[in-house]
C-alpha cells in the first residue's frame, strides 16, 4: 500500500517573491496558431507526458485532442475522433477523459444526442486510449435522460458512469474489462433536474466523497445529499433553493470563507428575464441562504446572468448559468469567472468576480462576498463571450483564462487564451492526484504518469503573515474532466525569505475494495 500512495500523490511547493500585479495578455496565437476555433470541452494529460492537453469539439460532431508541445504553437491537433465514429445525426454534448478500464491509460468518454429532436436521451461512447492513439471503442447499450456523472462508485479507483435511465431509476455502469456491467445505484428513485447539477464531493469532512444531487419534483427544485458511509450511500435531510428564485444555475462547492469547510454556491435569477441576478451561499448543514453578490449595476447599465432556455431548440445544447471558480489573485480565497448580459441590450461578456471581505449587512454571517471587476478591459475586449474558465496554461500555479466567444455570422466558437501576469508575494502548494493503478507492469509496457481521479479532497493548515492558523480545503471539481490539480494558495507573506509555515496537509479519496477511503497526511 505504501508503494500505491507514492504513485498517486505528487506534492510540490513553489515560492514567489515580491512583485506587483499587471493586466491580462492575449496569448491565443502562441497557444493555438490558426487553430483557435471549436468548443474547449476538457483538459487532461492524454499521452502521459506530464503536460496538460486540451480536448476540443469541432462542428458539434468530432473531437480533436490538442497535445501540449514545447514549441509554438504550444498546443497542436494530434488525435482525432471523426464524425463517422458516432451514429448519424448526432451532436457531441460532453467529453470526459478518464481511465475507464483500469489500464492506467487515459480513455475518452463522449456523450451525444440526436440533433433532430429538441429532447433526446443521452448516448455514451467510450474510446480506449493507447498513450498516443485511440484504439477501439464501446457503445453503452443503455441511454440516460441527461448527461451522466463520472464518479468512483465502488472505490476501485476506476471511474464509473452514474445516471438516471429512461424509467427514472438510478444506475451505475462499470467498464472494467471493457465490458459494460450495470447495477442499481441508489435505494430510491430520483427525478433529477435537466440539465443535471450533481457532484461527487466530500460534504461532511470525513475525507470520503459523498453524492450531491439536484432534484425536481412537484414542489420545484431541491437538493439531496447522499452520505457515503462504509461504501454505502444514505440520503440525509433534503434541501431547498432560496425563496423567490425563478431561474437556478449550476451548484458549485468551494471553501469560500477559508474555514476549511466546503460551501454551496448557487447563481440564480429572481425573475424570468434575469434582470435581477444574485449568487447565494449555504454553509454545510445549515438551511439558510446568504447572498454574496446582488449588485450587478455598472454606472447606468444593469447586467445580469444570461437566462437559460428551458428546452433548447433541436441541435442546440443546454447552457445553464455557471460559475467557474479559481484563485485568480493568489490570496487564498476562490474567485470566479461568469458570463453576464446587458439587460437593456443584447451584448454579453465575461467578468471576473473577486472574493473580498464583506462590506454590507446581508453577507456578514459569511464574512466574504463577490465583487465584480467591471473594468477588466482585456475580458471586455472579447464580444459575445459564451464561456469563460480558469486554466493554468504555463503550469506555474498562476491561473490564466480560456474564453469562448460567438462570432456573428459564424458557426461554432472562437477560442481566446489570456495569460494572467499577476504576481505577488505568495507561495502555493500544488497537489496532483493520480490513480497509480500500475507502475512497472502496465499493459502494453507503457510507463504511465497516471490518470485523473474523481472525488479527491485536500485540506491544509498553515500560518498567515500575522502568525494566525489558517484552515482551508479544496475538492476535485467533478463536473470538470481535467486531471485533478489543486492549487492551494498560501496568500501574502511578510518576508520572502521566511516562506511561511505549512503545518498540515491531508489528502483523501476512496480506497480499493476493502476500505472506503484512503488518507495521507504531511
Instruction: Enumerate the H helices of 27-91 as residue ranges.
Output: 28-32
Q: Is the peptide bond before 73 cis (omega within 30 degrees of 0)?
A: yes
Q: 286: number of CA atoms within 13 Å, CB side?
A: 14
- Contact of 310 with 230, CB cutoff 8 Å: no
Neighbours of 129 (CB within 10 A): 29
Q: How far apart are CA 126 and CA 149, in angstroms?
A: 14
Q: Please state whether 394 falls in left (phi above 0), alpha (psi between -120 and 50) or beta.
A: alpha
- Contact of 395 with 43, CB cutoff 8 Å: no
Nearest to 218 by CA among 184, 198, 180, 191: 191
Q: Which domains does the chain have, with CATH numbers?
A: 2-427 (2.130.10.10), 428-521 (no CATH)
Q: How far apart are CA 312 and CA 319, in angstroms?
A: 9
Residues with Cβ within 8 Å of residue 232, at least 6 apart in sequence: none
Q: Is the peptide bond before 195 cis (omega within 30 degrees of 0)?
A: yes
Q: 137: number of CA atoms within 13 Å, CB side?
A: 17
Q: 275: number of CA atoms within 13 Å, CB side?
A: 7
362 φ, ψ to 5°? -70, -25
Strands (E), 204-334: 210-217, 220-229, 232-235, 239-240, 247-248, 252-254, 263-269, 277-282, 290-293, 297-298, 301-305, 324-326
Instruction: Enumerate the H helices of 129-175 as residue ranges.
Output: none
- Contact of 473 with 460, CB cutoff 8 Å: yes
Per-residue tens of pLDDT for the chain, all 522 residues: 222 332 333 333 333 333 434 589 999 999 999 999 999 999 999 998 889 999 999 999 999 999 999 999 999 999 999 999 999 999 999 999 999 998 889 999 999 999 877 677 999 999 999 988 999 999 999 999 999 999 999 988 899 999 998 777 899 999 988 999 999 999 888 888 988 899 999 888 888 889 999 999 888 899 999 999 888 899 998 899 999 999 999 999 999 998 888 999 999 999 999 999 999 999 988 999 999 999 999 999 999 999 988 776 665 666 899 999 999 998 889 999 999 999 998 789 999 999 999 999 999 999 999 999 999 889 999 999 999 999 999 988 889 999 999 977 778 899 999 999 987 666 667 777 777 677 667 766 766 677 888 888 888 787 777 788 877 787 765 343 333 334 444 344 333 333 345 555 565 555 544 334 444 444
pTM metric for this prediction: 0.89
Q: How far apart are CA 279 and CA 262, in angstroms?
A: 16
Task: Give every strand in the sheet of 469-475, ordered side by side.
Answer: 469-475, 457-463, 501-509, 518-521
Grid coordinates representing 119 are 429532447
Amino acid at each position: 500500500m505504501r508503494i500505491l500512495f507514492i504513485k498517486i500523490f505528487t506534492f510540490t511547493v513553489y515560492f514567489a517573491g515580491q512583485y506587483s500585479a499587471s493586466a491580462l495578455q492575449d496569448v491565443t496565437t502562441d497557444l493555438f496558431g490558426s487553430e483557435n476555433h471549436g468548443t474547449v470541452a476538457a483538459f487532461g494529460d492524454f499521452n502521459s507526458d506530464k503536460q496538460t492537453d486540451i480536448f476540443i469539439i469541432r462542428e458539434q460532431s468530432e473531437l480533436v485532442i490538442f497535445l501540449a508541445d514545447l514549441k509554438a504553437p504550444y498546443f497542436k491537433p494530434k488525435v482525432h475522433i471523426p464524425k463517422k465514429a458516432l451514429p448519424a445525426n448526432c451532436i457531441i454534448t460532453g467529453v470526459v477523459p478518464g481511465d475507464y478500464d483500469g489500464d492506467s491509460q487515459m480513455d475518452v468518454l463522449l456523450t451525444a444526442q440526436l440533433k433532430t429532436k429538441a429532447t433526446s436521451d443521452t448516448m455514451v461512447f467510450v474510446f480506449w486510449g493507447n498513450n498516443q492513439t485511440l484504439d477501439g471503442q464501446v457503445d453503452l447499450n443503455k441511454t440516460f435522460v441527461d448527461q451522466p456523472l463520472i464518479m468512483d462508485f465502488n472505490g476501485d479507483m476506476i471511474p464509473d458512469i452514474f445516471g438516471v435511465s429512461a424509467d427514472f431509476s438510478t444506475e451505475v455502469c462499470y467498464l472494467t474489462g471493457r465490458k459494460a456491467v450495470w447495477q442499481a445505484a441508489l435505494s430510491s428513485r430520483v427525478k433529477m433536474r435537466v440539465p443535471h447539477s450533481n457532484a461527487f464531493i466530500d460534504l461532511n469532512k470525513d475525507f470520503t466523497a459523498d453524492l450531491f444531487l439536484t432534484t425536481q419534483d412537484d414542489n420545484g427544485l431541491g437538493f439531496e445529499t447522499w452520505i457515503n458511509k462504509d461504501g454505502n450511500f444514505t440520503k440525509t435531510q433534503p434541501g431547498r433553493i432560496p425563496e423567490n428564485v425563478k431561474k437556478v444555475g449550476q451548484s458549485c462547492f468551494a471553501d469560500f470563507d477559508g474555514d476549511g469547510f466546503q460551501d454551496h454556491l448557487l447563481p440564480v435569477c429572481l425573475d424570468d428575464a434575469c434582470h435581477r441576478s444574485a449568487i447565494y451561499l449555504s454553509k454545510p448543514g445549515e438551511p439558510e441562504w446568504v447572498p454574496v453578490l446582488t449588485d450587478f449595476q455598472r454606472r447606468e447599465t444593469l447586467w445580469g446572468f444570461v437566462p437559460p432556455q428551458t428546452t433548447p431548440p433541436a441541435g442546440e445544447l443546454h447552457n445553464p448559468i455557471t460559475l467557474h471558480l479559481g484563485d485568480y489573485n493568489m490570496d487564498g480565497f476562490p474567485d470566479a469567472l461568469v458570463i453576464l448580459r446587458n439587460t437593456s441590450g443584447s451584448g454579453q461578456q465575461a467578468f471576473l468576480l473577486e472574493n473580498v471581505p464583506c462590506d454590507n449587512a446581508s453577507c456578514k454571517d459569511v464574512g466574504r462576498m463577490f465583487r465584480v471587476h467591471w473594468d477588466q478591459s482585456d475580458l471586455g475586449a472579447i464580444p459575445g463571450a459564451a464561456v469563460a474558465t480558469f486554466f493554468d496554461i504555463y503550469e506555474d500555479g498562476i491561473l490564466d483564462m480560456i474564453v469562448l466567444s460567438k462570432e456573428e455570422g459564424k458557426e461554432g466558437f472562437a477560442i481566446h487564451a489570456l495569460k494572467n501576469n499577476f504576481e505577488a508575494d505568495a507561495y502555493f502548494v500544488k497537489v496532483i492526484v493520480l490513480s497509480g493503478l500500475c507502475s512497472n507492469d502496465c499493459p502494453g509496457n507503457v510507463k504511465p504518469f497516471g490518470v485523473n481521479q474523481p472525488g479527491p479532497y485536500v485540506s491544509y493548515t498553515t500560518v498567515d503573515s500575522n502568525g494566525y492558523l489558517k484552515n482551508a480545503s479544496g475538492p476535485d471539481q467533478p463536473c470538470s474532466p481535467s486531471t485533478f490539480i489543486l492549487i492551494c494558495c498560501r496568500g501574502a507573506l511578510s518576508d520572502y525569505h521566511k516562506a511561511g509555515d505549512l503545518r498540515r496537509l491531508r489528502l483523501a479519496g476512496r480506497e480499493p475494495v476493502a476500505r472506503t477511503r484512503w488518507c495521507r497526511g504531511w
